Amino acid sequence: MLKHKTSVLFADTKGKGKKTIQIPTSILLHWKKYLLIAATVFLGFGLVIAFFIYENTSNYYTTIYKEKLARANQIKNAIDIEKAKQSFESINQSMDRINRFMEDRGLTPLDFENAGGPVEFEVTDINEIAELYAEDIQKMESLIKNTPIGKPHEGEQTSHFGVRHNPFGGGGFEGHKGVDLRGEIGEPIRSTAGGTVEFAGRKGGYGNCVVIRHKNDFKTLYGHLSEINVKEGQKVKSGEIIGKLGSTGRSTGPHVHYEIIRGDEKINPQEYLNL
Ligand SMILES: [Zn+2]
């Protein structure tokens, strides 16, 4: 049918500029049908193009999502949960040991927030657990800093806590309620814990003496000083110089007499001297 053609003559009203074109006869007869086909094809192309655009843009977001997922997995794998559990267990055990050690020395054991420790936890809990440990370790640090630990002076220990021969001779025994550390006159004497100076001055046989009040009902006493460097009511830190070594009071030679008092009782400082 398409082969059959019809000649169409284009001419203006004056009959000039004539032009003849040949158009397949069927198009002239069925133009509505061909227009519909053309419109359908056009619409079809439009849909295909829209689909490709959609595909490409959604691929873009899928790629970002996949990248993020990969990164998350990478982080998850980097945190070895088993190793983290072991580390936390180990920290727990150390903290328990320190706590028992302090308890043996008459301190109230610390109440740790994560007592017992984390047995099962997820990666997402790690921040929370780490925060708990940070808090607990701060408590421990504060307790240790405020407990008389270590020596007020690094000199040789010449006398122990307990019964001893009268150092002034003449026979007999006496109770020695502290330890003596020998040194040179003028060497610094340091507070063994943070606290408040309760007494600073002359105190009988102790000579020039400093008494510091600490937390948990502890006090420390430093005797025979040649010089006192603190005032009553003054706050001191652990390790702060409070005076100078001397031989004032009832003393046979330059040394510091050191006592730890818990409540009303003078206790043996020996266990506190070395951790
Ligand atoms: Zn002494």
Domain 157-273 is in which class? mainly beta
d(Cα 218, Cα 272) in Å, to the nearest integer? 12
> What's residue 105's pLDDT?
66
- Cβ–Cβ under 8 Å, residues 162 and 175: yes
| Ligand 1 centroid to residue 143 C-alpha, Å | 27
> If you count DSSP H runs as helices and E runs as strands, how many of each does the chain have, helices first?
5, 15
Please name every residue paired with 164 in a beta bridge, in sequence order, or none if there are none.
Answer: 174
Please name every residue paired with 157 in a beta bridge, in sequence order, or none if there are none.
Answer: 181
| Ligand 1 centroid to residue 176 C-alpha, Å | 6
- Cβ–Cβ under 8 Å, residues 71 and 63: no
| Ligand 1 centroid to residue 233 C-alpha, Å | 25
Residue type, 194: G
d(Cα 201, Cα 207) in Å, to the nearest integer? 8
Tally the C-alpha atoms within 13 A of residue 97's C-alpha that lie toward its C-beta: 7
| Ligand 1 centroid to residue 257 C-alpha, Å | 4
> What's residue 258's pLDDT?
97
CA 69 to chain centre: 28
> What's residue 127's pLDDT?
77
Per-position pLDDT tens, the chain of length 275 = 557 888 877 777 776 777 888 878 887 788 888 888 888 999 999 899 888 888 777 788 888 888 899 988 888 777 777 787 888 888 888 888 888 877 776 677 777 766 555 566 776 777 787 888 888 888 888 888 888 988 999 999 998 898 877 777 777 777 899 999 999 999 999 999 999 999 999 999 999 999 999 998 999 999 999 999 999 999 999 999 999 999 999 999 999 999 999 998 999 998 888 75
Tell me 28's DSSP state: H
> What's residue 114's pLDDT?
62
> What's residue 103's pLDDT?
76
| Ligand 1 centroid to residue 178 C-alpha, Å | 6
d(Cα 205, Cα 170) in Å, to the nearest integer? 18
Q: Which stretches of 114-168 are assigned E, i.e. beta strand?
A: 157-159, 162-165
| Ligand 1 centroid to residue 258 C-alpha, Å | 7
d(Cα 255, Cα 257) in Å, to the nearest integer? 7
What residues does each domain of the chain span? 5-76, 81-145, 157-273
> What's residue 117's pLDDT?
58
> What's residue 275's pLDDT?
59
For the record, the structure tokens of 234 come out as 């003054």
Tally the C-alpha atoms within 13 A of residue 115's C-alpha that lie toward its C-beta: 6
